[in-house]
Structure 1
Amino acid sequence: MATDRELLQHPQNLSQNLESWLHQCLLLAESCSVAEIVSQLQTITERLRFPGFRLAVVGEFSRGKSTLLNRLLERELLPTGALPTTATLSTITPGTEDSMVVSFDSSPEVHRAIDAASWNDLVVTDSDGKEQEVLAEVQLTVVHPWLEALDTELIDTPGIEELNTTRAAIVFDLLSQCDATVLLVSATLPFSMTEAVFLEQEVIGKHIPRIIVVVSKLDTIQHEQREEVIAVTRERIAQISADIPVLPSYPVDKDMNDTEAIEAVRSQITAMVKGGNHKAWRSQQVARQLIDILTQLIDIGSVAIASAKMSAAEHEQALRKAKAAIRTTELQWEQIRLELDRRRLQHGQTLKENIFSSKSTLIEVLNQELSQTDNPKTWWERELPSRLRRELFSLGQKSEEFLLQEIADDFDWLTAEVSRTFSTQMTQQPSQKQETLEIKPNLPQLETSPIQRYRWLTRIGGGVAVIGSYLTGGTAVVAIALSLGVTILSEQFLSDQLEEQRQQV
């Protein structure tokens, strides 16, 4: 029997059979009055008839999807920036002239010029920084030799930060209609747990036959660290599938330049698109989706048959049991929620205690440095700001490590609790215990180049995004760090000594 890998390399074309299979399955779903499955069958029936090749670029917010497409097409087509931007599905196809057509829900199509101003009402945040809900599709036609030779529809998708949002649902629906996928992951936060679930359930789970992973934002970290980032990403991807290639979007080797790196990605996409029978791949994908739907219908039918065999008394008894089971399950989940909340509050309190216990150590170190300096004024204006910056960066990183470890411990507890209570398995890679939070007075001198400074901010910013949502709404860690800085600067004895030495100067 052929393996999945062999079927992908030499897929059998099932197109002639699928029309009949889909029709029979549709009649069966309609007879069972299962509207959701009927809708799914209608969608994949249309999918089978799509012309051309469709490739979606997907990933979480701010992973660089639009930037990658701009680099592949060598022009600023799509909006980019530090904040998440694209809020629409944007399709890019080859043509003889450039054009941009925007389709809002229940509104006529609007033709626009391809420039930055045309995207103002199509991004996640408006000019005031407020989030805006956008339901629109953008069709871009561009003149580009590579895209013309590729003869493919490229699709830039909205970022997915959570798997249960409206934008995520749009992306999931699109993926079932694509022939290939490029998944963007960031070098600063390589392949998170959410990305692993997304890849496994929504990309591989949709039976997409061609997948590649591209690591973005490598230009924000130093060259000597890039190879390690790529290796870690490849290792994590291989735990899900060993057949998915992982490519850097920027050079890993110092002998390679940016142009060569993006050309390697372009070549991989070309090989993915050109390397096989599109109709055969698509027929295999639709056939697997049809198997999933038939499995659902079998389950629904089995329940309906069992229910039909029950007497009225058995129906009533089964209903009472089901309601009792629902109440019991709700109570069990509430107990788990309360325990998680208790642990959250405990971690927040421990973090505060650790930070404020570090305050005296830091003040003592700064006080000693001040007492030993020959020029307090210069120390105050030049030494103290950079010293505080290094110390607070270090403290922020240690706080991040502390809380991420506690979150990992909570996940281990949750895994065991869910398994014990509901006989359901959850998986997560074990993590090593981090050291106790502390400030070491003699920190090494750190370079403060713009790239490394950006890397620090990205790492701490990513940690705060996780920690803030885990704690109390996203501001706890920042508030603590700022409070610590203000406390240090406002310590009375420090102010007194500095004022005294200033007077002496």
Structure 2
Amino acid sequence: MANLEQTINDLLQSLKSLPLDFTQLNAIENKIQTKQFNLVVIGQFKRGKSTLINALIGKDILPSSVLPLTSIVTIINFGEQKAVVCFKDGLCKTIELSDISFFVTEKYNPNNKLNVEYVEVFYPAEFLKNSVRIIDTPGIGSVYEHNSDCSYQFLPKADASLFVLSPDPPITQAEIEFLKDASKYIDKFFFLLNKIDNFKPSELREIIDFNSSILENLFSKKVYIIPISAKLALEAKLEANQQKQQQSNIQELYDRLEEFIKKEQSNVFWVSIINNIIRYTDMQLNFFKINLASLSMSKAKLEEKIKVFEDSLVKLEVDDYIYWLENKTKGVINVLDEDIDDLKKNQLPKLTAKINDYFNTLKISSTSMLNEQLKTYLQEQIEEIFSAFLQSENQKIGKLIGEIYNNLTAKVNTLIDSIIKTAEEVFEVKLSKLAQTKQLTEKSEFYFLIKEQPGALNIMGDFFKSKMPLFLGKKIIYKSIGERSIELFDRHCGRLRFDFVKRIKETSEKFKFEVENKLAQSIDAIKNILNAALKKQNDVQRQQEINKIESYTNLLNLIKNNLEKLKIKLTKNEQI
């Protein structure tokens, strides 16, 4: 591979001879120097990705939970045992492995309030010796949509992927859509079906067949899914338990990864490098293309075309998309209000009945003890009711917001396509790749605190903590307890609604900003090139610029052709 590396480095140096932005090239060069292979673990939230990684490295390092968890990318490298957290301001600090959860989880770092960029873990695991590093990405399709965004943003850095599925449920539309995008960057996927210990063999076979058919239709080739239990595999490692090792079927994954590392890793690594450089050259070619089109016109004609282009933009009716978004947001709030009304109608009578029943069964010797018992019981009942509601409502509202997000992204992409098509028609040049329609970077996040502040659930107040005789205090308490339960229930409903509405509206505002920002970027990218062309005041200047750009374009096309030839040879395992 020495010849291949030298060839690619020579092509990179040729690119650096052009007047381009080298930021992406510098990152590619750094990856070539380190030979670092990124094995990215991807999947929907709660598929068991973190548990799988812990099993691969043989230590329970990454946190796991019954709720959507990871909000920060975690990178696991070979090295002396330690963890380093790096923040968005560029500062990094070493932490204990046991403190990782304080930086990477929604529980301790909701919506990444600590501004963590990533966490890097070093551990002397055998699996990591071959310059392989494992990347734990946030779960896609979580109600914490910023998790999905983070996973999308990491795709260009991935070389191969462990894509984790599970039977509960089978592959979802969110995963299918993610795979469509991921396949543009990643050539090698290992598909895993986790949590096999929870299902019968006949059920697993049916689920595997179903998932395989979906994936094969998506990729137009045969797909193999490895069934595993990450939970049993981790327990087997920690306990040195051979029986659990066999039950987990993790050895099949180990064998396939080992074979891949021996036979395919190098080729996949270089194909990933080549793909990144090709994407870079395509982007630069597009900018040069519109430059040539604008420079080929006289100043008068170019000004005329710019006027036509700007007039066409006015007709695109961007405000219609904002109006659509506002109406959809109101619709989500209406759904929330209906669900809260149903919660009151169904659960409040049950709560008051439970409190009364519990009250009648208590055998208490003092008013203060009665106060504490009822306070504790009511707290538990409130938390149980609202925890269940929040779990289902988070999913429901998150899904509705996700649907709005996806529809809005499609609408924005269509609008950007219209801008590009308008520019194509006005300037008579193909610009389909000039503005890449990326997905919006901001989505929704939901968080609600059920626990009351100390003292807020004091049902009877300080008066009943006195030495009042039990026979008097009990009568007064019995009379007021139903009323206090209703009041407390309503208070929670109000707080819950306020929190959800606030976050829904904040999300809508972020969507609105993203729509306007993406459209402005697309329009400005074209206008900047056109205005630069206007500055060329005479035919000599224009021709000189055209000659330079044509020479740049010829070199870029030559580099791209050479890269594509290298890629074909690598995929065919031919000698280079």
Report the TM-score, using the length of structure 2 for normalisation.
0.52
Q: CA RMSD in A?
A: 5.6
Q: Tell me how far 1:46 sits from its aligned partner.
A: 3.1
- 1:123 matched to which residue of 2? 104
Give, in whole Å, the separation in 1 of the partners of 2:388 and 2:85. Answer: 48
Q: 1:345 aligns with which of 314, 330, 349?
A: 330
**Aligned equivalents of 2:150, 2:16: Cα separation in 1:** 28
Match of 1:77 among 43, 61, 65: 61
1:323 and 2:310 are equivalent in the alignment: yes
Counterpart CA distance in 2 for 1:212 and 1:110 is: 33
Residue 258 (structure 2) pairs with residue 270 (structure 1): yes
Cα offset, 1:226, TM superposition = 4.5
Q: CA deviation at 1:62?
A: 4.8
Matched, 1:198 2:178: yes
- Are 1:124 and 1:133, in contact at CA under 8 Å, matched by a contact in 2? no
Partner SS for 1:183: strand
Distance in 1 (CA, whole Å) between partners of 2:208 and 2:103 is 33
1:396 Cα deviation after fit: 9.9
Tell me: CA distance 1:190–1:127, structure 2 relative to 1, closer, same or farther (3 Å). Answer: same
Moved more, 134-143 or 341-350: 341-350
Query: Match of 1:233?
Result: 211
| Greater share of residues in helix | 2
Cα distance change, pair 244–337 in 1 and its aligned pair in 2 (3 A): farther
Q: Which has the higher contact order (CA 8 A, sep 6+)?
A: 2
| Percent of aligned pairs sharing the same letter | 17
Q: 1:298, 1:339 → 2: CA distance?
A: 36
Structure 1 counterpart of 2:214, one-letter code: R
Whole-angstrom distance in 2 between the partners of 1:65 and 1:355? 34
Gaps of 5+ in 2: 232-242, 351-359, 362-382, 419-442, 449-481, 487-576
Residue 192 of structure 2 is matched in structure 1 by 214
Q: Distance in 2 between matches of 1:99 and 1:409?
A: 42
Q: Deviations over 1:314-340 (max 9, x none)?
A: 3323333343344443xx343134234
Secondary structure at the counterpart of residue 103 of structure 2:
coil
Q: SS of the residue aligned with 1:76?
A: coil
Per the alignment, residue 336 of structure 1 pairs with 321
1:187/1:308 CA distance change after superposition, 3 Å: same
- Post-superposition Cα deviations, 1:175-203, rounded to whole Å, max 9, x if no partner, equal 2xx3x2212345445444443343332x3
**With structure 1 as the length reference, what TM-score do the two structures score?**
0.59
**Residue 343 to residue 289, structure 1, CA distance change in 2 (3 Å):** closer
Count the aligned residue pairs.
Answer: 403
**Aligned in 2, Cα 1:131/1:419: closer, same or farther, shift over 3 Å?**
closer
Which structure has the bigger radius of gyration?
Answer: 2
1: CA distance between counterparts of 2:148 and 2:71?
15
Q: Among residues 266, 269, 272, which one is paired with 1:285 in the alignment? A: 272
In structure 2, relative to structure 1, the CA distance for the partners of 1:168 and 1:250 (3 Å cut) is closer
C-alpha distance 83-320 of structure 1, shift in aligned 2 (>3 A): same
Conserved in 2, the CA contact under 8 Å of 1:18 and 1:283? no
Q: Which runs of 5+ in 1 are unaligned?
A: 1-10, 366-376, 379-388, 425-468, 476-485, 491-505
Specify the alignment match of 1:462 in structure 2. none
Query: Does the Cα contact within 8 Å between 1:99 and 1:111 map onto a contact in 2?
Result: no
Q: Secondary structure at the match of 1:240?
A: helix
Partner SS for 1:75: coil
For residues 341 and 246 of structure 1, do their structure 2 counterparts lie closer, same or farther at Cα, with a shift above 3 Å needed? farther
| Residues 243/270 of structure 1: CA separation in 2 closer, same or farther (3 Å cut) | farther
- 1:171 aligns with 154
Q: Structure 1 residues 315, 60: closer, same or farther in 2, change over 3 A? A: farther
Matched residue SS, 1:48: helix
Select the residue among 24, 39, 53 that pairs with 2:14.
24
Is 1:64 the equivalent of 2:52?
A: no
